[in-house]
Structure 1
């Protein structure tokens, strides 16, 4: 079987494992990304089969909203509810303490709002996203209002980072978030204290949010491929 087929099956298995943890009468945060997309699909299919009832979803991006509607998941907003039972979302890096870097899809601001409010936050990833230290393989995304881009980049440099404005693929110009802001991707040689750096970056005027998720994840479901078999483990 081709590696691409196995990778897809693995993502499907992780998404299904997360969707299976959703219970009836729940408000569910619906994340962004390819693995979470399968979780949204399987939640919708469980609803259609009658295995789940009275589910309301809160999407973290336009992508998640479109998928949720496609699979028949009723949606609500944070204005209309007073809690979130469970949130399901992916990550770009996960360290041994379940701290994350997110934001590859430029949706980390909404994701952090929803994921942080959830009683349980389930992270769905493949084993390639596991790292010993955050920043090892993925740049740290920082969402910034357009007028503050240059001073924010200057300040990020002073913090030891190497910032670059994220440019669009197959489009001219920079990536624009669902909030109408820009994303700066920052390379740090090391992030010895993620909690401190998260707060320090968010205190820079003009920064809306950054992709460090410290102390937010409750469960991490990891997809793996061994001997041409896809499996899921929890840590």
Structure 2
């Protein structure tokens, strides 16, 4: 009998959670009193929000935050972080988020596994500094080698977009993301996500341009030329990657 036992998985999960905490602790040190901050989404960002809330409470840190998802906003509000919006803070001092994959050379990202890629990209693009926190499993030589590329699309006519992604853009598969009950998952913006499997991505810029040209595509999970720094946590501590 083959496979991984629950005893094997638990220590691995504990180690990865510890890595996330270390990267999050390193990232929130960049935040200073009075800053406007973008808060990412997903499991790694959730750990970061906990770490930031501890600083707000223990150091009386005065910040304003724009969350990238309803879940992140609820967590931040519950922990006492003051929320803002783009009327009050059209430019953010810093945004911190996780990633699903990071190209080790270009620092181009794949994001969107948590379903918040559109808001995440808006927040990242509004920030003077965009810090990405990951564990070392997320660093890859070629994007798309481990994770599908999420593409957010409008619900009406999504089947047509799916067809074009395969026939014209070269996706091997483009499956709509679904809930456990089989219903198609909807983002906080009430759109659908197509999780697209490509061959390893060698030209992210061209692929992003071709995807964006399809009518009905809202945005995609390729974050190109946006990353200021990646904090990578692993067995040897937290390392910094810059372009």
Q: TM-score, normalised by structure 1?
A: 0.94
Kept in 2: contact 1:102–1:212 (CA 8 A):
yes
Task: Measure the CA separation in 2 of the matches of 1:25 and 1:203.
Answer: 39
Aligned counterpart, 1:207? 217
Question: Where in structure 1 are there 5+ consecutive unaligned residues?
Answer: none
Task: Measure the CA separation in 2 of the matches of 1:124 and 1:182.
Answer: 26
C-alpha displacement of 1:50? 2.1
C-alpha displacement of 1:51? 5.1
Q: Does 1:159 align with 2:169?
A: yes
For residue 41 of structure 1, give the secondary structure of its aligned residue in structure 2.
helix
Q: Does 1:233 align with 2:239?
A: yes
Task: Measure the CA separation in 2 of the matches of 1:46 and 1:84.
Answer: 19
Aligned residue pair count: 229
Q: TM-score, normalised by structure 2?
A: 0.91
1:136-189 CA distance string (max 9 Å, x none): 111000001111201111110121102111111x33311110000110011111
Task: Measure the CA separation in 2 of the matches of 1:73 and 1:104.
Answer: 25
Kept in 2: contact 1:15–1:37 (CA 8 A):
no
Kept in 1: contact 2:149–2:195 (CA 8 A):
yes
C-alpha displacement of 1:30? 0.1
1:13-47 CA distance string (max 9 Å, x none): 11111111111110000000111111111111111
1:14 is matched with which residue: 23, 31, 40?
23
For residue 39 of structure 1, give the secondary structure of its aligned residue in structure 2.
helix
Kept in 1: contact 2:45–2:98 (CA 8 A):
yes
Runs of 4+ in structure 1 displaced over 4 angstroms? Answer: none
Question: Where in structure 2 are there 5+ consecutive unaligned residues?
Answer: 1-9
Aligned counterpart, 1:143? 152
Kept in 2: contact 1:86–1:122 (CA 8 A):
yes
1:103-158 CA distance string (max 9 Å, x none): 00010000000001100000000110011011111100000111120111111012
Task: Measure the CA separation in 2 of the matches of 1:15 and 1:190.
Answer: 29
Aligned counterpart, 1:186? 196
Task: Measure the CA separation in 2 of the matches of 1:99 and 1:116.
Answer: 14
